[in-house]
Amino acid sequence: MSMTGFERAAEGRIRIHVLPTKRFKTFAVSLYAGASLQEETVTPIALTPFVLRRGSAAYPETILFRERLEELYGAGFGFDVYKRDGSQIVQFRMDTINDAFVGKEEQLLGNSLAFLGETLTRPALESGVFKSKFVDAERDNVRKKLDAIINNKARYAGARCVEEMFAGESYRLNALGKREALEHLDASSLHESYRKWLSEAVLDLYVVGDTTLAEVQGLVHKHFDIAGPGHSPYEYARSAKSEGVGNPHIVKETMDVSQGKLNIGFKTSIDYADDRYASALVYNGVLGGYPHSKLFQNVREKASLAYYASSQYEPHKAFGTIQSGIEIGNYERALEIIRVQLDAMKAGEITEIELSQTQAMLGNDLREIRDSAFQMIHHDFGGRLSGRERSVSELLEQVESMTAQQVAEAAQNFRLDTIYFLTGKEGE
């Protein structure tokens, strides 16, 4: 057994991770397919799961496909496409109730894995390629999703800030692809790209629930039509990280908004695999992860400038962000208050209470992982992704023994990179 409690095996190219437990009323299933994040392939890979969820060989029309999910007691089925470090990951999720609660033997786990295997490996085809009806509709759907980013101003500002930070790298790309590249994809070219993707992607299948590794392995063998040797051509690799130069790039953009969105980006060399990872978690917690944090207390509670003011740390690409929604005219004032907090962090001006509150909150976040099947999967997969496996208890120990000095050292490693402000048309 691994440090995180998952039992592991492989079935062809699919790495299998199973956590047998009776704690939940469902079987939680996640399949991660990872590929290199690249300008040329980002769009077809993003479009692929949208087409796959329209139908499989066994359920070739979308209505049949969805009716099947209803027959499996409304099994939850969904997917996400996102980027982590240098990879573009497609994650399929299924959440199916345990037969015990419907009073009859329905083999819901077996039927769910059969459904997922079909969906991923035996799609609905016409003349040997994807159905053009599905491809055309989903291309339109993804284009609408890309356009819809402007609807949520906080999310838009966050994405724009990250795009500016990584302007010269593939990480600038939206994981859902590029609008202009969509037009060039048709049923035939997308199907070709899908086959290449499926033959190269690194595949991890997780199951949490009342089952065994042997049962899952047997089901994968039966239902996933993936040929090939024991290794995928693609493998997650950790990229080199640097803390950047600390000479901030300032971007202002105007839109018809009543509230301004201030987003600030930092680069760091501390990533998930780094020995100092826990110090970056605590740094982010003291700065802006919680209501007791410096940003919330000073920008919101003391100065009454904002409803939200927080920070985030992305450990796989290794960067930090700060975000706040403010009155447009308060830009300089908010920035000044934030600068004072950042300087205090670097100077180690962290009170004992700020440190202990952050440790207690992070401890709570970490212990909670065990209460959710999908959170346990997510935590374990973080280790697979970065090549550094850490148990929850190991991280807990590191967080609990953290000193203000170590947090200050982490703060010095986060260098200001980009200041992005989404402001109103009439200006200040």
Partner 1 sequence: MERIVYKHLQETLYYEKLDNGLSVYVLPKEGFQKTYATFSTRYGSVDNRFRVTGQDEHRVPDGIAHFLEHKVFEEPEGDVFLKFSTQGASSNAFTSFDQTTYLFSATEKIEENLETLVNFVQNPYFTDENVEKEKGIIGQEIQMYQDNPDWRVYYGLIEALYSVHPVHIDIAGTIESISEITKETLYACYHTFYHPSNMLLFVVGGVDPEKVIAQVKANQAAKNYGPQAEIERFFDPEPEQVSQERKELNLPVSLPKCLFGFKEAAPKVDGPELVKLDLTTELMLDLLLGSSTPLYQKLYDEALITDGFGGDFRATPEYAFSVIGGDTRDPELLMDRIREESERLSQSGFEAKAFERARKKKIGGYLRMLNSPESIAHEFTRYKFRGGDLFAVLEIYENMTLEEVNARLREHVRWDRRSVSVVKGA
The residues binding partner 1 (CB under 8 A) are: 21, 23-26, 62-63, 66-67, 69-76, 95-97, 101-103, 133, 137, 140-141, 144-145, 147-154, 255-259, 290-292, 300-301, 304-308, 325-327, 353, 356-358, 360-361, 363-365, 367-368, 370-373
Our CB check for partner 1 shows the closer of 221 and 367 to be 367
Distance CA 176, CA 138 (A): 12
Shortest distance in whole angstroms from residue 14 CB to partner 1: 25
Distance CA 221, CA 195 (A): 19
Shortest distance in whole angstroms from residue 212 CB to partner 1: 18
Our CB check for partner 1 shows the closer of 136 and 243 to be 136
Our CB check for partner 1 shows the closer of 233 and 291 to be 291
Our CB check for partner 1 shows the closer of 220 and 299 to be 299
Shortest distance in whole angstroms from residue 157 CB to partner 1: 11
Shortest distance in whole angstroms from residue 108 CB to partner 1: 9
Our CB check for partner 1 shows the closer of 33 and 286 to be 286
Our CB check for partner 1 shows the closer of 39 and 301 to be 301
Our CB check for partner 1 shows the closer of 74 and 246 to be 74
On whether the CB atoms of residues 286 and 361 are closer than 8 A, the answer is no
Helix/strand/coil (H, E, C) string of the chain?
CCCCCCEEEEECCEEEEEEECCCCCEEEEEEEEEEECCCCCHHHHHHHHHHHCCCECCCCCHHHHHHHHHHCCCCEEEEEEEEECCEEEEEEEEEEECHHHCCCCCCHHHHHHHHHHHHHHCECEECCEECHHHHHHHHHHHHHHHHHHHHCHHHHHHHHHHHHHCCCCHHHCCCCCCHHHHCCCCHHHHHHHHHHHHHHCEEEEEEEECCCHHHHHHHHHHHCCCCCCCCCCCCCCCCCCCCCCCCCEEEEEEECCCCEEEEEEEECCCCCCCCCHHHHHHHHHHHHHCCCCHHHHHHHHHCCCEEEEEEEEECCCCEEEEEEEECHHHHHHHHHHHHHHHHHHHCCCCCHHHHHHHHHHHHHHHHHHHHCHHHHHHHHHHHHHHCCCCCHHHHHHHHHCCCHHHHHHHHHHCEEEEEEEEEECCCC
Distance CA 153, CA 159 (A): 10
Our CB check for partner 1 shows the closer of 246 and 291 to be 291
Our CB check for partner 1 shows the closer of 127 and 151 to be 151
Shortest distance in whole angstroms from residue 296 CB to partner 1: 8
Shortest distance in whole angstroms from residue 124 CB to partner 1: 14
Shortest distance in whole angstroms from residue 223 CB to partner 1: 21
Shortest distance in whole angstroms from residue 373 CB to partner 1: 8
